[in-house]
Amino acid sequence: MASIFKGSRVLEVGTATGRFAASLTQRGAEYTGVDLSQRMLRATFERTNHSASLIQMDGSKLGFRHYFDHVLCIRTFHFLQKPVEALQGMFSVLKPGGEALVTFETDNFLRRFLLFLGIGTSEQYYYKISDVEDMFLEAGFKIVRSGSVMRIPVTVYRRCPRSLLGIMRRLERLWPWPMHEYVLGVKS
């Protein structure tokens, strides 16, 4: 996958701490990141050794005049208050044939039960994969693929001792409910 991004122009909506930005810039991508948080942009700038173009901007109001080969929105989409507008903005900044990858927290029985117990956060939106696919179609994308990224909740991974991570990864195959899914769309 790294070769896909080498020499590509990549826009990331929601840089967070720059984990993906650092990986992409090291692999030769021309990286641009947007985030609402100045703190996250600073962290991304430091993590990329000052090699990223960063802009404080609302992901639902992308204002670029040039085109990107790829748009990524990893673990941010479920925080966007206007997801269709964000997807329309992603569509408009992509070159023809460009791809947008969005990951999001899912709406399922386990998530609702955890929220009922007060475990996790409700300051975000939870989607079914079909809902996000419909949003992609409404924004003009052709859907290439969709599926599960993580089946076990991220919160469990974060609280898990390192010594048990191997076991957790094996349990991923058995866990009945996807907790984090993705949709990949292309601008035809």
Q: What are the two backbone dihedrals, phi and then psi, of residue 145, each rounded to the nearest 5 degrees?
A: -155, 160
Integer distance in angstroms from the first to the last C-alpha of the chain? 21
Question: What is the pTM (predicted TM-score) of this model?
Answer: 0.84
Cβ atoms within 10 Å of 177's Cβ, excluding its own: 14
Q: What is the pLDDT of residue 144?
A: 97
Q: What are the two backbone dihedrals, phi and then psi, of residue 98, each rounded to the nearest 5 degrees?
A: -70, 155
Alpha-carbon separation of residue 128 from 49, 155, 173 (angstroms): 37, 19, 20
Q: What is the pLDDT of residue 159?
A: 78
Q: Which of 41, 73, 75, 45 minimizes the C-alpha distance to 60?
A: 73
Q: What is the pLDDT of residue 56?
A: 96
Q: Where are the alpha helices (DSSP H) in 12-163?
A: 19-26, 38-47, 83-93, 109-116, 129-139, 154-159
Which CATH code is given to the segment(s) 2-186?
A: 3.40.50.150
Q: Where are the domains of the chain?
A: 2-186
Q: What is the pLDDT of residue 162?
A: 86
List the chain pLDDT tens, one digit each, 188 residues. Answer: 445 677 899 999 999 999 999 999 999 999 999 999 999 999 999 999 888 999 999 998 998 877 899 999 998 998 899 999 999 999 999 999 999 999 998 887 777 787 788 876 667 888 999 999 999 999 999 999 999 887 777 767 777 888 988 888 788 777 777 888 999 999 99
Q: What is the pLDDT of residue 175?
A: 76
